[in-house]
Amino acid sequence: MTASRHSYSRLVSLLLASLLLIVLCGPAMAQKDNAGAKADPPKAAVPLKGRLPAHFRTVVTDEQRQKIYAVQQEYDPRIRKLREQLKTLTAERNAKIDALLTPEQRKKIADLKAAAKEKRKQARKAKAADKP
C-alpha cells in the first residue's frame, strides 16, 4: 500500500513538473520563434565551458561541444528558475498535507522517517566496511 502511494505521489509530482514546464516554456519558445527576424550580434570566440551529458565526451567534436555548452548556457537559468518554482510548489503541497494530520500522526511519521534515515546510515556504514 505504501509503495503504491509513493508511486502515485511520484507520478503526481512528475505530472506537475511537466505541466509547469509546458506552461512556462511554451510562450518563451513562441517568442523566440517570432524573434527570428532579429539576428543576435555575434559573440566573441571565447570557448564556453560546461558539462557534457553522459557518454558524449568521446563522441562529439570540439565544435559540437561548444554548441552543446551554448545550448546549456541558454537553458540553465530557465531550468534553475523552474526548479525553484517546483521546490516552492512541493513545499506548499507538503504543508497542506501535513496540516491534514493529527499531532500524533505527525509524530509517528517523524519517527518513521528518523528510523528510515538511521537504517540508510547503517547500510552505508556496512557497505563502506565491505569495501577493501
Q: Which amino acid is at 131?
A: K
Whether residue 93 is found in the same domain as residue 106: no
Q: Model confidence over 17-60: pLDDT tens digits?
A: 665 556 565 555 555 555 554 555 555 566 788 899 999 999 99
Q: What is the pLDDT of residue 58?
A: 93
Whether residue 78 is found in the same domain as residue 109: no
Whether residue 68 is found in the same domain as residue 86: yes
Q: What is the pLDDT of residue 47?
A: 76
Encode burial over 5-35: b for 16+ CB neighbours within 10 A, e otherwise. eeeeeeeeeeeebeeeeeeeeeeeeeeeeee
Whether residue 96 is found in the same domain as residue 120: no
72 with 50: CB under 8 angstroms? Answer: yes
Whether residue 92 is found in the same domain as residue 108: no
The total domain count for the chain is 2
Q: What is the pLDDT of residue 130?
A: 87
Residue 114 belongs to some domain of the structure: yes
- Could you tell me the three cell numbers for 9? 505521489
- Could you tell me the three cell numbers for 62? 570540439
Whether residue 128 is found in the same domain as residue 118: yes
Can you give the residue range of the structural domain that contains 120?
A: 102-132
31 with 78: CB under 8 angstroms? Answer: no
Whether residue 88 is found in the same domain as residue 116: no
